[in-house]
Amino acid sequence: MVGNKISDKIFSTVVSIISFILMAVCVVCIIINTKKEPQPGDTGQDGKSAYEIAVANGYKGTEQEWLQSLVGSRGESGISVVDVKLNENGDLVITLSNGEVISCGGHSDQCVHEYSDWSIISEASCENLGIRTRACKKCDYKDYEIIDKEEHKYIEKIVSPTCVSEGYTEKTCEKCGKVVKENIVEKIEHDYEDFIIEPTCTKDGYTEHICKNCGKSYADNTVAHLEHNYEFLYEVSSTCKEHKVLKQCSICNNAQLFDEKIVAEHNYVNNVCTVCGKSLLTAEESFEFTLLEDNTYEVKLKKIENIPNTIVIPETYNDVAVTVIGDGAFKDLKEIVSISLPNTITKIGRNAFSGCENLVTINISEGVKEIGNSAFKNCYSLKNIELPSTIEKIDTLAFYNCKSIKVFVLSQNLKSIGEFAFFECSNLTYVELYNNVETIGNGAFTNCVNLVSINIPASVINMGEYVFANCPKLTIYCAFTSAPSTWSVNWNADECLVKWE
């Protein structure tokens, strides 16, 4: 700390030993009147103003610029210098932040001053000048001294550059909190790691690039998805009209039915083709027809001798469509091996084929919307069935105890599966549901001990109790993240493996 004492006897000595900047600051410290008015001495010669002294010591700016250089910024607390100016007599006038005004003029007196210790009026800081005072013990004159600003005391923090922001050196003053950024370093390049995503039958392949530092990613090098590679899985039907097989893609496991278009010759036995079921008997000889309210016919088999093992239902009777297989129409007929339905059928009634223990194949034609209660109950020999796209409802116990069925590809328009619909289908391994099914009833797949896979689409709103009870091999693929609140809490009571989407 360097000061400049101003008194009317040693003023010129002090001015000569300080630098012009500190001299310019220190000239604000002058003697002011004390509480006790001194006796005036002889009038001396007028001295130079503080600005003139600064110019004489090398200052080259204007008077206003010089005055402005003496003003520091306001501190957060305490007393600081807020204004410095010259009055009309050339005396320096200092205004402090507490409102006190100090007028420093050139005075001369005959007192040989004996001063007290310095007393701080305003502390100096990194941003502001300070000021201190002392008083003559004899005459109570006061002497003032400007205190230089303190040096900043910086703490340095080096911030390394990243791929999203620049690096720099941050300096923070411990005293005043001033922050300075310097030594700016440009962002670094992204450091990408490459991941090759192979194409599948359903999705394109690509290369994904992920930055190790910031996680930014992008994809390129798209590769078109692969073609399905279908392999034979099951034979669904084989007649002299068609030959359908179920194939599964070895890459993505998608299953699809294919028509191989293999045509066989009819093989008639007892007036019925053993391959396709075409009958040489007339409709009147074989069936009983009942006219319905919508002016279509319901059909049932008559009690006839030598029931053929293959039944072909006619499309019309008296030029009117046959639309319904009546309740119990072929119930407990153990002679029947194969049944062919016409495209005109819309409903298979209650117990229609129940107890047909030797029934192996049936083509359920397009147009059928509903399969009634217990329609195929205890059809032990019935094998894989393809349901048409028109099926909307499979009623309670519809395929109860159909032990030979291995694969069910259900209708795309199916909305409801009734209670115990596939109960005890012990050889069923695979079931595919489409995204229209809304309801699956209580115990629908109970005791399907060999069922391996079933998908539950996002359309399922209602799920009953114990739907998959005693299905120890089953994996359930659910298009949900968790079970909806509308499902029974016991829907998966046996805790089969569930893979949520």
In a domain, 139, yes or no: yes
Same domain, 327 and 417: no
Same domain, 56 and 113: yes
Same domain, 436 and 362: no
In a domain, 478, yes or no: yes
In a domain, 2, yes or no: no
Same domain, 126 and 165: no
Same domain, 367 and 425: no
In a domain, 3, yes or no: no
Q: Say if residues 453 and 432 touch (Cβ distance below 8 Å).
A: no
Question: Where among 382, 412, 437 does a domain terminate?
Answer: 382
Using 50 as the pLDDT threshold, list the residues of the chain that sit under it: 1-38, 75, 106, 108
In a domain, 390, yes or no: no
In a domain, 173, yes or no: yes
Looking at residue 442, its pLDDT comes to: 96
Q: Would the pTM count as exceeding 0.75?
A: no
In a domain, 388, yes or no: no
Same domain, 29 and 107: yes
In a domain, 5, yes or no: no
DSSP codes, 7-59: -TTTHHHHHTTS-HHHHHHHTT---B--SSPPPP---------HHHHHHHTT-
CATH number of the domain where residue 359 is located:
3.80.10.10
Same domain, 319 and 204: no
**pLDDT tens digits, one per residue of 447-485:** 999 999 999 999 999 999 999 999 999 999 999 999 999
Same domain, 286 and 219: no
Same domain, 199 and 297: no
Which tokens hold the place of 100?
């006190």
**pLDDT tens digits, one per residue of 405-451:** 988 878 889 999 999 999 999 999 988 898 999 999 999 999 999 99
**pLDDT tens digits, one per residue of 364-408:** 888 999 999 999 999 999 986 778 889 999 999 999 999 999 888
Number of domains in the chain: 6
- Grouping H, G, I as helix, E, B as strand and the rest as coil, residue 172 is strand
Same domain, 17 and 141: yes
Show the domain range for 315: 265-382
Same domain, 163 and 279: no
Number of residues in the chain: 501
Looking at residue 36, its pLDDT comes to: 41
Rounded to whole angstroms, how far apart are CA atoms 493 and 392? 27
Same domain, 316 and 414: no
Beta-carbon contacts of residue 447 (< 8 Å; ≥ 6 apart):
423, 424, 425, 426, 469, 470, 471
Residue 11 burial (C-beta neighbours within 10 Å; 0-12, 13-18, 19+) = buried
